[in-house]
Amino acid sequence: MKPLFSEEALAIVEKYVAKFPEGKSKSAIIAILHLAQAELGGWLSPEVMDYVASILKIEPIEVYEVATFYSQYYTEPVGKYVLEVCHTGPCALRGADEMISYMERKLGIKKGETTADGLFTLKGVECLAACGSAPMMQCGLNYHENLNEQSVDVLLEEFKKESKVRRPFC
Amino acid sequence: MSEISLFKVTIDGEEVEVAPGTTILQAARQLGKHVPPAMCYYTKLQGSGGKCRTCIVKVTAGSTKDPRPMPKLVASCRTPVMDGMVVANETSPEVIEARKGVTEFLLINHPLDCPICDQAGECHLQDLGYEHGAQKTRYDFERRTFDKIDIGPYVQLHMTRCILCYRCVYTADQITDKRVHGVLDRGDHSEISTYIEKAITNDFSGNVIDVCPVGALTDKTFRFKSRVWFTKPVYAHRNCPKCTGKVTLWYKGDDVLRVTGRKDKWGELEDFICNTCRFETKKTADWVIEGVVNVDRHSVISQNKYTLKAEKPVVPELASKHTGEGTWDHQLK
Amino acid sequence: MGKIKILTKDIGTPNLQNIDVYISKGGYASVEKAIKTLGPDAVVEEVKKSGLRGRGGAGFPTGMKWSFIDKTPGKSRYLVCNADESEPGTFKDRYLMAENPHVLIEGMITSSFALGANRSYIYVRGELIYVVRILQKAIDEAKAKGYLGKNILGSGFDLDLNVTCGAGAYICGEETALIESLEGKRGNPRIKPPFPAIAGLWGMPTVVNNVESIAAVPWIVVNGGEEYAKLGIGKSTGTKLISAGGHINKPGVYEIELGVPVEEFIYSDEYCGGIWKNRKLKAVVAGGSSVPILPANLITKTANGEARLMSYESLSDGGFATGTMLGSGGFIAYDETACIVKNTWNFARFYHHESCGQCSPCREGTGWMEKVLHNIEHGHGKPSDIDLLVDVAKKIEGNTICPLGDAAAWPVASAVRHFRDEFEWHIKNPSAATQPGAVFRNEAVLA
């Protein structure tokens, strides 16, 4: 299979694999899929997943099984910035739903949708372990906490100015 | 050979002695009574069991050494016995109630399309519902549905009926050399799938049909040919280079409508058979007929067999050799 | 109670994430003491003596868990740190790892030494990749100082410590699901027995401990298990991180000595600082979303009228009829304007989303409860729904492969137990109950 990862990415893959004993490289799949999502288009297409299977020398179905289990992997294309607002209990007590409504109005989309320009996807997600600084959201690597309408406005403007997509990998 | 000291287990008041390492379910099967239902466990599939929770039982005494009861109901298919263990299955109201709950959970998203399901008559979920289900459903939401898909030329996957027992996945993992289907997604969205359309072409792939407890995986060469209770099962074998060649032929008149593996009294395959035997060898002439199957499960298939005087199938070879052996009349005496 | 801090004492020190700063505060002393003076068995003994209980939620004695590990020669042993913190209401581990990463690394080294594990993992939830990077830097620093790697401090003990991540799945906080995930699979909990102490990671003997449990080990080793056991109350020894959130004035992570009165914890300025907006307290979820919710009148006092304390025993006083659990220490307060039905639906949605789908009661039951609660919250409830919820919860509880079933059932069952009139009000008055801001009031439960 033609390599999809860059040399740099392949070096990172080696580091992941080295964390596990010999013959246990499948363990690296979780980190590799994060990396694949970050480096190869922002989501996990069947082609990308088949490539990951070829790197780990496992059957493609083993990758599909893992990729569809975990909520951080996107198996459909998403916006350049995925705004993941926690909507679980403690955040809901401090205005998470209202924050999501505000962002829906601001972006002109509903929760779960992507803006027409492909810049933002808005998602309601389950607890991100930041209940003490609610409402909050994750975008890429970063947590944005104690949100209010003004701080969200500022953030969205900053995102629009940035050129690099920030997708997290270890 | 050194003597293995057996463990004494009491199930619903009856004692049985079994080898260490035996599970409660297998101990009950050895006793032959008070056997919990099992929808996901499959003796020949390593790692199976524990998931459907229909076989849960109450352990009222853990062992002679430690006679404390286990705090929760346990999955009998995955819990090994201890010497002196006391188990309550049918005699425990708690077990009956919990099993009724599990049955209801398995049915709330099941389509209940038994009238048009090929598995009807030999469906373990049907049996479970009959024995442990409620007469009315309390679930008034839309049921989960999926599109039917063909996974290869012989097998159809009707995911809507699936109870996620994982048996077909273990079968593909352990019996075939390359698994292309698995469990995708999570929670009640989980589904058995190949993800992107892929044919299952392995020589032993047809066994997923036999291990499926419901009508989620069906034999496309048999679909809608006949209700199973109108077919007559006959043991037969042939010299097969790929498998044991020991099968059950399902006759309607002179025609072999379906070939399956042979199942034991718990509904489990005795041998996994190859796709050539299963799908491509459907003439009586291809087989050495051994005799009709003594259906002793409580399914509708046996109902038919025990009330009708069968004229067919004609099994000339056996009938001539052994004075009537191999005819229904003989078997059903 | 004393005000002693163990895990958080140095937080606030500039650059505490830097190993030199951490060492200047006495860091890594436990590694030296364990390796050079105590030896593995004595470390296990100290942890047993400390009475430390698993801080992830179950409260199982850590030392006893360690003593179960299969020590058959020739079998690799593994220590795995559960940093998959995802229980709604709980955010202490994230705080601790980000602010004081070396206390966890030090705890991992000392604990791995005690268990004879030469390869250990910290499994961090996938959303916290920024924490993974902080921990990786800490590991690299510790390696450079000789606390990690081959022949640590000349002892002959080798340790390869790695930090890995998940990818979004609450269920991976269950130890066998975590192990599956660490093996690169779906996070389906395993059927037990066998327990991880016998057959865990790659089939080998494995101990899985929460971040906070492991982070407590260095102090215990340095100061002695008996000193730790002097802290706290009864069998609730030591200190505990409490994540405080919801309708309070000062949300945050507080390290308390176990045994602080709940009333003090809620109202003292040292902790939550009281209920926000000068409102009354309606209810509390004291140990993360899965533990039973209690009305205000039962959280500060037990059914016998005794002051309730922040301890394993006191919070569970009265059983589920009138008590709850300390759990993971995720303390969520609800003021008088909070809608219990909405909150219960919210939690049910969470558990429905997080069910792995492996066993039928949880897979089917969590979705069913969410749908019924959604109907009630949105004005489509039926009078029979309340008993239906109770029955579905009952049929999930205790009948699943892993504790997620119980975790999903308890919030629903307890909400109906203590706030049944609020559910009935929603069902009887759908148009009033669905007005924005509408809330059922029962003065008797407020405080």
**Domain ranges, residue A107:** 81-163
Of A36-40, B192-196, C83-87, C148-152, the range with the lowest mean pLDDT is B192-196
Chain C partners within 8 Å of B183 (Cβ): 186, 357
Give the pLDDT score at A170: 82
- Verify that A64 and A117 share a domain, yes or no: no
Q: How crowded is residue C246: how many other Cβ atoms within 10 Å of its Cβ?
A: 30
Q: Which pLDDT belongs to residue B319?
A: 46
Angle at C269 between CA C265 and CA C274, to 5 degrees: 65
CA distances from B16 to B19, B81, B280, C52, C339 (A): 10, 11, 44, 43, 55
Instruction: Enumerate the domain spans of chain B.
Output: 7-97, 124-219, 226-333
Last-in-domain residue among A22, A40, A69: A69
Are A41 and A92 contained in the same domain? no
Touching partners of C (3+ C-beta pairs < 8 Å): A, B
Angle formed at CA C209 by CA A64 and CA C66, multiple of 5 degrees:
125
The band of C1, judged by pLDDT with boundaries at 50, 70 and 90, is low
A39–chain B Cβ distance below 8 A for any pair: no
Nearest to A89 among C121, C164, C347 (CB): C347
Whole-complex ipTM: 0.97
CB-CB neighbors (< 8 A) of C364 in chain B: 105-106, 108-109, 188
Mean pLDDT of B215-227: 94
* Contact B81/C at CB under 8 A: no
Q: Do C132 and A92 touch (CB under 8 A)?
A: no
**From first to last of its 170 residues, what are the pLDDT tens digits of chain A?**
789 999 999 999 999 999 999 999 999 999 999 999 999 999 999 999 999 999 999 999 999 999 999 999 999 999 999 999 999 999 999 999 999 999 999 999 999 999 999 999 999 999 999 999 999 999 999 999 999 999 999 999 999 998 776 678 88
Q: Residues of B with CB below 8 A from C180's CB?
A: none
Neighbouring subunits of A (3+ Cβ pairs under 8 A): B, C
Chain B nearest CA to A70, separation (Å): 8
Number of B–C residue contacts, CB under 8 Å: 89
How far apart (Å, rounded) are the C-alpha atoms in residues A72 and A51?
19
Assign residue A138 the CATH number of its domain.
3.40.30.10
The answer on A35 and A86 residing in a single domain is no
Cα-Cα end-to-end distance for chain A: 25
- Does the residue A1 lie in any domain? no
Across the interface, do A132 and C91 touch by the CB < 8 Å criterion? yes
Indicate yes or no: CB of C357 within 8 angstroms of CB of B187: yes
| Residue A2 placed within a domain | no
Measured between CA atoms, the residue of chain C closest to residue B78 is: C191
Interatomic CA distance for residues C240 and C56, integer angstroms: 11
Please tell me if residue A112 touches chain C, with a CB cutoff of 8 Å: no
Condensed to tens digits (0 to 9), the pLDDT of residues B238-293 reads: 999 999 999 999 999 999 999 999 999 999 999 999 999 999 999 999 999 999 88
Test C350 with A73 for CB contact under 8 angstroms. Answer: no
* Same domain flag for A64 and A130: no
Q: What is the pLDDT of residues B20-30, one digit of tens each?
A: 999 999 999 99
User: Could you report the per-residue pLDDT of C272-316, keeping only the tens digit for each?
Assistant: 999 999 999 999 999 999 999 999 999 999 999 999 999 999 999
Do both A64 and A89 map to the same domain?
no
Residues in chain A closer than 8 A to C127 (CB atoms): 72, 128-129, 138
CB-based contact C395 B75, cutoff 8 Å: no
Q: What is the pLDDT of residue C319?
A: 96
Co-location of A86 and A158 in the same domain: yes
Q: The domain spanning residue A61 has which CATH number? A: 1.10.10
Residue C125: exposure state from Cβ atoms within 10 A (0-12, 13-18, ≥19): buried
Give the C window 388-407 contacts with B, CB below 8 Å: 388, 394-395, 398-401
Which one of B25, B53, B82 makes the best mutation probe of the C interface by having the most chain C beta carbons within 10 Å? B53
Shortest CB distance from A93 goes to which of C133, C186, C246?
C246
A86 and A47 both lie in a single domain: no
pLDDT in tens, C318-370: 999 999 999 999 999 999 999 999 999 999 999 999 999 999 999 999 999 99
Q: Is the pLDDT of residue C2 over 90?
A: no
pTM: 0.95
Task: Round the CA-based radius of gyration of chain A to a whole number and report it.
Answer: 17
Which residues of chain B does A69 touch, with a Cβ-Cβ cutoff of 8 Å?
A: 184-186
> How large is the average pLDDT for residues C7-28?
97
| Nearest in space to B211 (alpha carbons), one of B55, B84, B62, B45 | B45
pLDDT in tens, C169-223: 999 999 999 999 999 999 999 999 999 999 999 999 999 999 999 999 999 999 9
Q: pLDDT tens digits, residue range B37-91? A: 999 999 999 999 999 999 999 999 999 999 999 999 999 999 999 999 999 999 9
| Same domain membership, residue A152 and residue A107 | yes
Q: How many other C-beta atoms can be found within 10 angstroms of the C-beta atom of residue C315?
A: 25
Interface membership of C186 toward A (CB under 8 Å) = yes
Q: Per the domain annotation, does A76 fall within a domain?
A: no
Does residue B211 have a pLDDT over 70? yes
Q: Which residue in the set B78, B102, B163 is minimally distant from C361, CB to CB?
A: B102
The answer to whether C367 faces chain B, any CB pair under 8 Å, is yes
Task: Please tell me the predicted confidence (pLDDT) of residue B299.
Answer: 57
Q: Let me know: does C18 contact C85? Beta carbons within 8 Å.
A: no
Taking the Cβ of residue A73 and every Cβ of chain B, the question of whether any pair is shorter than 8 Å is answered with no
Class at the top of the CATH hierarchy for domain B124-219: alpha beta
Q: Please tell me what DSSP assigns to residue B36.
A: P
Q: Residue C409: pLDDT above 90?
A: yes
Tokens read off for B66: 């430690």
Interface test with chain C among A58, A62, A131, by most C beta carbons within 10 Å: A131
- Residues of chain C contacting A168 with CB distance shorter than 8 Å: 129-130
Cβ C359–B50 below 8 Å, yes or no? yes
The H or E element containing residue C115 is helix C101-115
**Residues on chain B touching A65 (C-beta within 8 angstroms):** 182-184
Kindly state whether residue A92 falls inside one of the protein's structural domains: yes
Tell me: do A33 and A107 sit in the same domain: no
Mean pLDDT for C33-51 is 97
Does A141 share its domain with A89?
A: yes
Q: A69, A102, A118 — which closes off a domain?
A: A69
Top pLDDT among A162 and C435 is at C435
Query: Domain for residue A170, yes or no?
Result: no
Minimum CA–CA partner of A33 in chain C: C167
Express each pLDDT in B99-118 by its tens digit. 999 999 999 999 999 999 99
Contact assignment for C245 to A131 by CB distance below 8 Å: yes
- B332 contacts chain A (CB < 8 A): no
CATH 2.60.40.10 is the classification of domain B7-97: no
Residue at a domain's end among A15, A43, A69: A69
Instruction: Detail the DSSP E strand segments found in chain B.
Output: 7-11, 14-18, 56-61, 74-75, 85-88, 149-150, 155-157, 182-184, 191-193, 217-219, 232-237, 246-252, 255-261, 288-292
Same domain assignment for residues A57 and A86: no
For B116-128, what is each residue's pLDDT tens digit? 999 999 999 999 9
Do A87 and A129 have their domain in common? yes
Q: Does A168 reside within a domain? A: no
Q: In whole numbers, what is the pLDDT of chain C averaged over residues? A: 97
C contact residues 394-423, partner A, Cβ 8 Å cutoff: none
CB contact under 8 A, A129 and C85: yes
Number of domains in chain A: 2
pLDDT interval class at B294 (50, 70, 90):
confident
Tell me: the pLDDT tens digits for B136-181? 899 999 999 999 999 889 999 999 999 999 999 999 999 998 899 9
Handedness of CA C8, C9, C10, C11 (dihedral sign): positive
pLDDT on residue B179: 92
State the pLDDT at residue B297: 53
Going by pLDDT thresholds of 50, 70 and 90, the confidence category of residue B301 is: low
Residue B312 above 70 pLDDT? no
